[in-house]
Amino acid sequence: MEDLQQNISIKYWAEDDQPREKLMLKGKAALSDAELIAILIGSGSRNESAVELSKRILKSVDNNLNALGKLGHKQLMAFKGIGDAKAVTIAAAMELGRRRREEDAPDLKKITSSKAVFEIMQPLIGELPHEEFWIIYLNNSNKVIYKTQLSKGGLTGTVVDVRLVYKTALEHNAVGIILVHNHPSGTLIASDADKQVTRQLKTAGMALDIKVLDHVIVTEHSYMSFADEGIL
């Protein structure tokens, strides 16, 4: 009877209080994205509730949480009603979500396909606004034993430190490596620079009997594999 009274009375609460109470009564899964964001920002303004403000923010990114996570501090503060503290809170929540996905990614998993590479690396680099180039190091069972960023900012004009790549491989007793980088533009076409870096590392690895097994280009939603395309 008490639960019934609580559920009936919720419509009489202030709109800004409803999302918090709804979460406690019905669980977090019952809330919309806007209601969850409203809990983060706490309050709206005299002319707009926290829920309405959250809906307006989401509408600006086509209700896409990935797009919301890419908004910078100044972009969030451009919304009337979002000050410094609220912008920081939203950004922190988005980053926690990204890190949770990263931890859920397969770790020390046997690489059996290019898709497994994508699953590992997409949470790390798939949504970045700039290019990053990474190396995945594998043991003789094709299991990931280490991964590290090689460069940041784009491959054109980047000097690849081949010695560092293979020094790290020897330190971890790796017998194979996979090259991975992202294309913030979303295109899945290998550039001349992509191909040149691949050839350079592949040639250097032959002398040490460490194979370049693949080069995977990652975007937010998909990937392209040199090995799958027959251009390795």
Neighbours of 33 (CB within 10 A): 15
Strands 223-225 and 144-152, bridge-based pairing:
unpaired
The crossing angle, in degrees rounded to 10, of helices 2-9 and 18-26 is 150
Phi then psi for residue 223, to 5 deg, are -155, 165
8 pLDDT more than 70: no
Give the whole-angstrom CA distance, residue 14 versus residue 22. 12
User: What per-residue confidence (pLDDT) applies to 134?
Assistant: 93
Considering the chain, what percentage of its residues have pLDDT values greater than 90?
A: 33
pLDDT tens-digit profile of 145-165? 888 888 887 554 345 788 889
pLDDT at 210: 94
Percentage of the chain with pLDDT > 70? 86
86-124 burial by CB neighbour count: b if 16+ within 10 A, else e?
Answer: bbebbbebbeeeeeeeeeeeeeeeebeebebbbebbbbb
Domains of the chain plus CATH, in order, are: 2-103 (no CATH), 108-229 (3.40.140.10)
Q: What is the pLDDT of residues 210-226, one digit of tens each?
A: 999 999 999 988 999 99
Q: What 3-state DSSP class applies to 39?
A: helix
pLDDT at 51 over 60: yes
Is the pLDDT reported for residue 1 higher than 70? no
pLDDT in tens, 75-86: 999 998 899 999
In whole angstroms, give the CA distance from residue 212 to residue 209: 10
pLDDT, position 127: 86
> Is the pLDDT confidence value at 128 over 50?
yes
Q: Kindly report the length of the chain.
A: 232
pLDDT of residue 112: 85
Min mean pLDDT across 35-49, 176-190, 211-225 is at: 35-49
